Structure 1
Amino acid sequence: MPTPEFILALREKIGHDLLWLPGVTAVVRNTDDQILLVRRKDNGRWTLVTGCLDPGEQPAIGALREVWEETGVIAVADRLLRVQALGPSTYPNGDRAQFMDIAFLCHAVDGEATVNDDESTEVGWFSVEDLPPLTERETACIADAYADRPEAWFAT
């Protein structure tokens, strides 16, 4: 998916300055207890489904939208996993952004996992024992999904 119009409009005003954005991460599990991952086109890494919320969009709804847009999988959000301010990022074009990430545990209810947009090159289901290399944050999100606690993690 291309850069959302609201971000392009903001960039016209602020240039490459740091932009604070709401983001979501979805840990999607299927009936075989596998985790849904996408291989990013920009860096070739496998990752959980992530994305930026649209203005006024509810976080869980945005996470489910991102899952469908990126993978063709229809999912349901089960619970909040973690809320975390991520570090700043600088993109190849010089844009800087920092995300407040809200991660959800979700389960797949329909759809076939497939590359459904132009951001990914592959989509797949992985057992927890056979995950490709992931970031520390993504590994923590998956651990939270399997933790026996109802409350969300947040930094204190």
Structure 2
Amino acid sequence: MPTPDFILSMRAKLGTDLIWLPGVTAVVLDDEGRVLLGRRADNGRWGLITGILEPGEEPAVGLAREIAEETGVVARVEFLTSTSVGDPVTYPNGDRAQFLDLTFRCRCVAGEARVADDESTAVGWFDVDDLPDSMPEHQRWRLRTALASTGVAVFAHD
């Protein structure tokens, strides 16, 4: 998916300076307790479904949109499980960003998992005890936190 227009507009003013962006992560579970993952087109790593919120977009609405756009799965966003701040990222073109992440536990309600846009090369359901080796540790933490959640969000981690 192309860079959102609002980011291109900011980049026109700020160049490659560090920008702060709100991001969302989905821990989507099916009825068998498997988690939905996508293999990223940009780096080939498997991970949870993530996205950037549009200006003014409600987090749960934006996350449900991202899940459907990227995987074809319709999910019900159940509750917030954690908030965290990622390390600054530098992209190949020199742009820098840092993300505030809101992770939600979600439930699959319809649809077949499939590659639905150009952000992923594969999409699938995985047993939580048999995750791909390429899944980053920060996403494993988000998954563990969501699975253990009692509905009270974790607000920071080291």
TM-score computed with the length of structure 2 as normaliser: 0.96
Give the residue type in structure 2 aligned to 1:51.
G
Q: What residue in structure 2 maps to residue 79 of structure 1?
A: 79
Residue 128 of structure 1 pairs with residue 128 of structure 2: yes
Residue 53 of structure 1 pairs with residue 53 of structure 2: yes
% same residue: 56
Larger displacement relative to structure 2 (38-47 or 139-148): 139-148
Q: What residue in structure 1 maps to residue 143 of structure 2?
A: 142
Q: Equivalents in 2 of 1:136, 1:43: separation in Å? A: 15
List aligned pairs for 1:1-156, cutoff 5 A: 1-133=1-133, 134-155=135-156
Deviation at 1:149, TM superposition (A): 2.3
Q: Equivalents in 2 of 1:148, 1:91: separation in Å? A: 32
Deviation at 1:136, TM superposition (A): 1.7
Deviation at 1:50, TM superposition (A): 0.5
Q: Equivalents in 2 of 1:155, 1:26: separation in Å? A: 17
Deviation at 1:150, TM superposition (A): 2.1
Give the residue type in structure 1 aligned to 2:38.
V
TM-score computed with the length of structure 1 as normaliser: 0.97
Residue by residue, what CA displacement relative to the aligned partner does 1:56-105 show, whole Å, maximum 9, x if unpaired? 00011111111001000000011101011111000001000000000000
Structure 1 residues not aligned, in runs of 5+: none
CA contact (8 A) 2:72 2:112 kept: yes
CA contact (8 A) 2:29 2:106 kept: yes
- Give the 3-state SS of the residue equivalent to 2:129 in structure 1: helix
Q: Equivalents in 1 of 2:92, 2:66: separation in Å? A: 23
Residues 148/70 of structure 1: CA separation in 2 closer, same or farther (3 Å cut): closer
Structure 2 residues not aligned, in runs of 5+: none
Structure 1 stretches of 4+ with a deviation exceeding 4 A read: none
Q: Equivalents in 2 of 1:131, 1:15: separation in Å? A: 37
Deviation at 1:145, TM superposition (A): 2.0
